[in-house]
């Protein structure tokens, strides 16, 4: 007996872009073929679903691009802030010449070299966000700076957040994770490293690799 062919779509294995391309191709081919006239309503519904998915993806991409741009601006402004206040602190030191009362008048904290207190335990990293990177299989991570941190450790998990593994270190408040599998959902978390060790991990952020 000859085997009969069946449709093979493997939709769970396709990412969003692949589904849109697939949907446009299939409905385009079937729409003008009389062979499929009896399921014209199904073809129309599938074409509408493809259009709606593409519209949703475009809106999501635009929102993520805007969020990434806003985050980049925030980090740039934070770096400018740190630089400005570092220079301001140096200016106060030049005026104070070691006089603590003058430093106090500036509204700044003071210390005596050789007697600095240890930073202590690191607080939890907050505001971790994940967005699509510039290339396939790349995800950009950003988070708020932790005072006193010498660096950060990053962990990831897939296909669910039950088991995280080490994925990298960063001395900045951002990192691009590369070599990910497109269409796969990943979870990430970050912890700050300080003189007393590694602090608690952030709440996880999740993203599907482009």
Tokens of 55: 């519209």
Torsional sign, CA 117, 120, 124, 128? positive
Q: CB-based burial of residue 166 (10 Å sphere; 0-12 exposed, 13-18 middle, 19+ buried)?
A: exposed
pLDDT in tens, 17-48: 999 999 999 999 999 899 999 999 999 999 99
* 85 confidence band (pLDDT: 50, 70, 90): confident
- Tokens 């391309």 identify what position? 21
What is the rounded average pLDDT of the residues 41-59? 95
Partners of 185 in the β-ladder = 208
Using CA atoms, how far residue 85 sits from 96, 103, 106, 114, in Å, is 16, 14, 12, 22
pLDDT in tens, 183-195: 999 999 999 998 7
Asked if the bond preceding 159 is cis, omega within 30° of 0, the reply is yes
The fraction of the chain above a pLDDT of 70, given in percent, is 96
DSSP H helical ranges for the chain: 16-31, 40-96, 100-105
Domain ranges in the chain are: 12-117, 118-210
Q: How many angstroms separate the CA atoms of 128 and 125, rounded? A: 7
* 117 confidence band (pLDDT: 50, 70, 90): very low
Superfamily of domain 118-210 in CATH is Immunoglobulins (2.60.40.10)
Task: Work out the number of other CB atoms within 10 angstroms of the CB of residue 197.
Answer: 10
pLDDT in tens, 136-169: 999 999 999 998 888 999 999 998 888 899 999 9
Reduce the DSSP state of residue 65 to 3 states and report it: helix
């Amino acid at each position: 007996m000859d085997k009969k062919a069946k449709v093979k779509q493997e939709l769970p294995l396709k990412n969003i872009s692949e589904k849109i391309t697939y949907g446009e191709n299939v409905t385009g081919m079937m729409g003008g073929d009389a062979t499929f006239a009896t399921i014209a309503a199904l073809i129309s519904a599938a074409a509408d679903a493809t259009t709606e998915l593409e519209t949703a993806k475009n809106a999501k991409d635009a929102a993520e691009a805007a969020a990434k741009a806003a985050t980049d601006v925030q980090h740039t402004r934070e770096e400018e802030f740190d630089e400005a206040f570092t220079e301001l602190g140096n200016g106060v030191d030049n005026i104070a010449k070691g006089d603590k009362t003058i430093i106090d008048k500036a509204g700044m904290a003071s210390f005596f070299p050789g007697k600095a207190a240890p930073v202590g335990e690191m607080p939890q990293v907050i505001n971790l966000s994940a967005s699509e990177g510039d290339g396939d299989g790349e995800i950009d991570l950003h988070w708020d700076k932790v005072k006193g941190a010498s660096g950060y450790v990053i962990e990831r998990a897939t296909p669910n957040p039950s088991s995280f593994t080490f994925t990298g270190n960063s001395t900045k408040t951002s990192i691009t994770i590369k070599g990910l599998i497109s269409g796969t959902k990943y979870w990430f978390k970050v912890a700050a490293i300080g003189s007393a060790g590694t602090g608690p991990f952030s709440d996880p952020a999740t993203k599907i690799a482009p």
